[in-house]
Structure 1
Amino acid sequence: MQGTFQMDTDTATLCCYDLASLEHRLQDTPDWWSIPDDELEEVNAGHCLFLNLGEDGTYEVHWNVQETVLETGSEAEPRQRYYFQVPSGTVYLGAADDVSGGELEPDELSQGVFLQLNSGNYACTVFKKENQISVTIQPSD
């Protein structure tokens, strides 16, 4: 499964998470994740990935979901790799402007896509060059 989408962000951040992982943040303030301790808590727990893009703007995101389990050291080119949990299978990949909070969740008007994945642990490999972002998601031990 793969695709491409464009997103505009005013937070200079891309996020990736299973909606069930952040249900407990729905009643929190809309910008809860801008508090470093709160962001770090969720990232360290494997609930969400927040990827700093360096600046606001419009980005083209190329995403690819692979079915094979990640083999460590199998990439020829070094990339940034992050890990997260998928409890429900409904994963949002898009602008962090739309992250769950303030009694809102991402929806069809959000700056991103919804991916249907099997429950489990995943690795997310990211490569950014200018306004082009490549994201590969695959199962991980």
Structure 2
Amino acid sequence: MEPLIALLVGFGGARLTGLAGVEALDSWQPSLRVGLALMFLLTGFAHFHPKLRADLVGMVPPALPRPDLMVTATGVLELVGAAGLLLPATARWAAACLGLLLIAMYPANVSAARRGVAQGDPLLPRTLLQLVFIGAAVLVLV
């Protein structure tokens, strides 16, 4: 739920800033980029927090090798993608890559839901949140 809150607060705060006269945030799309970047900063840093990292490593499907390395790599990609969202020249590429990353990481959500790891969230809420995040990335992309 925290990533969704970060997305909404980041978007809302950026949108209010734009409405207050900050020209760089004068429409919904740059504000959405800020919200999405904030969400990926939150989730990216979670990959390196000791307690949260253990949960994320546990989410990786058992058949995949080196779950610790996968969590590190996806965390770095999320942080780099968040930075890319904030730069107008790279925002579309970052959104496309992050959208693909979300799709690639979805099997970990399925695996975690089926095995009851990482707080044991049911699959439907995980899927709906993933669709919201992918939708936000697509909206930045178009």
How would you bin the TM-score normalised by the shorter chain? under 0.3
**Higher strand share goes to which structure?**
1
**Higher helix share goes to which structure?**
2
The answer to which structure, 1 or 2, has the higher relative contact order (CA under 8 A, 6+ apart) is 1
Q: Which has the larger radius of gyration?
A: 2
Task: Return the TM-score normalized by structure 2.
Answer: 0.26
